[in-house]
Amino acid sequence: MFSVGIVGTGSYVPEEVTTNVDLEKIVDTNDEWITSRTGIRERHFAPKDVPVSELCYQAGLRALEDAKVAPEDVDLVIIATITPDYAFPATACLVADRLGAKNAAAFDLEAGCTGFIYGVATASQFIATGMYKTALVIGGETMSKILNWEDRSTCILFGDGAGAAVLQAVDEGSGFLSFELGSDGSGGPLLKQPAGGSMCPASRETVEKQQHTVHMAGNEVYKFAVRIMGEVAVKVLEKIGLTQADVDILIPHQANIRIVDAAVKRLGISPDKVIVNLDKYGNMSAASIPVALDEAAKEGRLAAGNTIVMVGFGTGLTWGACVLRWTKAGFTA
């Protein structure tokens, strides 16, 4: 089995910034409430005619450039998203085509905000076994397309963006050291898009009832998130005989600063080791972790040999974490 690591990253967010004050004009909310309850100050939204494949393409292109990998050398493209361009074909096929990754297998993966962790865990298996040499994993979302702008408890939370990573075999002892993935479908009703699938196909009625938008039991998800982030981070470290004291950098899913702070406190990890960018982007679902990873790399916060833990939770319910020994040094912005 080969060791597998990340050899390049890239990210992209749409230009348009929507601040909390902008949202005050749309829905009954205010900057003080959003900032104090979530830590979010602004988010980026894609224009109405821009699909998630465009954001994924831009992030993927940057990651390939960063890794100095030609598109035709990519063997596998996985896109983690809950806001695909279409139910079918897969967004990964569309993005592979645009990138010129004409030799790649391509599929979408749906694990909500845990999607990027599921994606790198999946892609790693193909490379570890020698079946493929190079994989491109992208977490991308246009959450703006599925928000109910009359529901102030959800529409203020999310943003659009995409983050990407190129995976290849790396020196033994570096790259991904362990993964921990989980799910509990009994929690599915807590966070879902009720209509548009085979359970409740699209109709005039479903559109009128806003059933194609995010429906969330915020408090329940909150409690689950704080508990699971701590548990899964400890578990993924224990698997390889490490503890929280060995962590150089923690990249948590960026849903709410209170969730991040509570999980970090439970873990006893120093806040200066934690990457947080939710103030600028809100919750970008599957894009949150890879965008944070790319920014941390470009800002020089990741040094070769660093032990990085990425941990997420999301709809499903799903959760996942990985320990990554960083191999790439000397990124330039």
- Three-state SS at 41: coil
Out of 41, 98, 133, 152, the residue judged to bind ligand ACO by CB under 6 A: 152
> Which position among 113, 155, 256, 322 bears the catalytic label?
113
CA dist., res. 136 & res. 124, Å (int): 10
Q: Which helix (H) or strand (E) holds 4?
A: strand 3-12
Q: Name the residue nearer to ligand ACO (CB basis): 37 or 273.
A: 37
DSSP state of 56: H
The residue number whose beta carbon is nearest to ligand ACO equals 314
Q: Which helix (H) or strand (E) holds 244?
A: none
Q: Which two tokens stand for residue 271?
A: 């806040």
**Interacting stretch for ligand ACO, rule CB under 6 A, among 122-130, 171-179, 243-251, 253-261?**
253-261
Which residues in the 285-324 window bind ligand ACO by CB under 6 A? 285, 314-315
> Which position among 20, 44, 253, 322 bears the catalytic label?
253
**Interacting stretch for ligand ACO, rule CB under 6 A, among 27-35, 242-250, 260-268, 319-327?**
27-35
Which residues in the 255-284 window bind ligand ACO by CB under 6 A? 255-256, 259, 283
Question: Which residues contact residue 240 at a Cβ distance below 8 angstroms, ignoring those fewer than 6 apart?
Answer: 177, 178, 323
107 binds ligand ACO (CB under 6 A): no
Out of 4, 94, 106, 113, the residue judged to bind ligand ACO by CB under 6 A: 113
Q: Which two tokens stand for residue 282?
A: 């809100």
Nearest Cα to Cα of residue 165 among 122, 112, 113, 111: 122
Distances 278 to 41, 90, 288 between C-alpha atoms, Å: 8, 28, 8
In the annotation, is 200 catalytic? no
Nearest Cα to Cα of residue 180 among 317, 276, 310: 310
222 binds ligand ACO (CB under 6 A): yes
* Binding residues for ligand ACO (CB under 6 A): 29, 33-34, 37-38, 112-113, 152-153, 156, 191, 216, 218-219, 221-222, 225, 255-256, 259, 283, 285, 314-315
Which residues are designated catalytic? 113, 253, 283
